[in-house]
Amino acid sequence: MKLLKRDVSAKDGSGYVTLLPNTPEDLWHTYNLLQTGDRIRCTTLRKVSKESSTGSVTSSKVRMNLTIDVKRVEFFKDSLEVRISGPNSAESAHVRMGAHHTLTLELDRQFSIEKDCWDRVYLDRIEEACNPEGGAEIACVVMGGGLAHVCLVAGSVTATKARIDVNIPKKRTGSSAHGKSTAKFYDAIYRAILTHVPFDKVKCILVGSPGFQKDDFYKFLLAESVRRDDRPFIENKGKFVLCHSSSGHKQAIEELFLDPSIMSKVTETRLSKEIEVLNKFMRLLDTNPDKAYYGYFHVQKANEELAIDSLLISDELFRSSDVVERKMYVALVESVRERGGTVYVLSTMHVSGQQLQQVSGVAAILRYPIPDLDELEDTAAAYEAGSVEVEHDDEELSGEARKLKETARVREDMADMGFG
């Protein structure tokens, strides 16, 4: 992502930024930047009809700049597209004011986002997206039978670069069809990796499959790379890590990151650090629960005690259309950082963010145990019922208690989550 222009007021945070997305992950960052009520301006094609003096009508597609008030934002994981819908909010020679329009953001086409307030989380997101050292750190290849997926795992999104589907018949005596189809399958994966994996950027290439198919493919890759003199494979063969996956479907990639022995080999990546701290939190829930809390109410109280060492928060919480709720979580993040804590914003596009979302989306590892923090749960519930008085802002604590009720059932389900 390139930051072309930034005009944000230091006083109230209002203003706009102009961005140019270069990679599919940039579109995911854009999705996280957009909220209902923003204004976005970019070029688009629109069909325009003109009537001549003789009464004939001609239609043509015209490229124009449109500014719309954002009413709806959608991100499509498979096609990696961001679509924004809303009414036109600026004068245009071809589109009347208030006309509803849908914009699709594309790579290498700039756009501007205007907000009433650019908070710290928004600005951090832009800095992360524009960091030239960012990008994909891990490549994953999962295969099973005749199906395979080649994906790149960047900081916030898993992008499918190639899907290979080859019909492989069963082995039959006297028939070479199985061997030929398997060789064709391996060759397609080989070419997909060579085409789509940036060997100069990725630190690890995970290859997974049921059984020994991954081992057979790796032998094929080594032999073919020497025969074809493909230097990227020869020079980077040490980056390949063979592991187990249940199938060749994209969902099987999540299994690779649940294997501690695999994660120990990709310790240099940002994703591995996030999974490591999430695993630590899950273990503490079982072994030392007084140092691990989740849910906004408990985490905020721990922050007031200056006790938070690591804050884990899901990016889903920052996409809330409730401005008050978003500001609440932004304030929590800023406060933890000011008090020396480390903040991890986990993406729901990865298994780590999805697992965190199951425990309310916000959790904390404490510097020291606070054994009586759970007693606040009864206080909050009693306040919600109106049976006691607490010296807190009525509206704020009522919201905290509601969030507490929503997450109360989670602790009972922890054993079924597969982490630990």
What is the per-residue burial (b if ≥16 Cβ within 10 Å, else e) of 304-336? Answer: eeebbbbbbbbbbbbbbeeeeebebbbebbebb
- List of residues 6+ apart from 253 with CB closer than 8 A: 140, 142, 149, 151, 153, 158, 206, 208, 245
| Residue 410 sits in the same domain as residue 280 | yes
Residue 119 in this model has a pLDDT that exceeds 80? yes
Q: Which of 270, 138, 136 is nearest to 204 (CA)?
A: 138
Which residue, 129, 153, 170, sits at the end of a domain? 129
| Residue 342 pLDDT class (50, 70, 90 cuts) | very high
Which three-class secondary structure string do you get for 233-291?
HHHCHHHEEEEECCCCCHHHHHHHCCCHHHHHHHCCCHHHHHHHHHHHHHHHHHHCHHH
Q: pTM surpassing 0.85?
A: no
The domain boundary residue, chosen from 266, 285, 315: 266
Give the CATH number for residue 395: 3.30.1330.30
Helix (H, G, I), strand (E, B) or coil at 81: strand
**Rounded to an integer, what distance in angstroms lies between the CA atom of residue 161 and that of residue 154?**
12
The last residue of one of the domains, among 129, 151, 186, is: 129
| Per-residue tokens: 188 | 């397609």
Are 200 and 159 in contact by the 8 Å Cβ rule? The answer is no
Cα gap 53→116, rounded to integer Å = 46
Q: What percent of the chain has pLDDT over 90?
A: 37
Q: Kindly tell me if the per-residue pLDDT of 10 is higher than 90.
A: no
Same-domain status, 242 and 332: no
Please state, rounded to an integer, the average pLDDT across all residues of the chain: 81
Q: How far apart are CA 241 and CA 348, in angstroms?
A: 25
Helices (H), strands (E): how many in the chain?
14, 17
pLDDT band with cut points at 50, 70 and 90 for residue 407: very low
Q: Residue 408 is part of which domain span?
A: 270-416
| Closest to 28 (Cα-Cα) out of 80, 103, 72 | 80
- Res. 164: pLDDT tops 70: yes
Region of residue 80 (phi > 0: left; psi between -120 and 50: alpha; otherwise: beta) = left
Asked whether residue 244 falls in the same domain as residue 275, the answer is: no
- Residue 35, helix vs strand vs coil: coil
3-state DSSP percent of the chain in helix, strand and coil, to 5: 40, 30, 30
* Number of domains composing the chain: 3
pLDDT at 56: 75
Q: Mind listing the pLDDT tens digit for each residue in 229-272?
A: 999 999 999 899 999 999 999 888 878 877 776 766 665 566 66
Averaged pLDDT for residues 124-130: 81
* Separation between Cα atoms, residue 26 and residue 130, nearest integer Å: 9
Residues 45-55 pLDDT 10s: 877 777 777 77
Percent pLDDT > 70 in the chain is 83
More confident residue, 220 or 393: 220
- Is residue 75 within 8 Å of 156, Cβ to Cβ? no
The per-residue pLDDT for range 368-379, each reduced to its tens digit, is 998 877 665 555
- Same structural domain for residues 243 and 309? no
187: left (phi over 0), alpha (psi -120 to 50) or beta: alpha
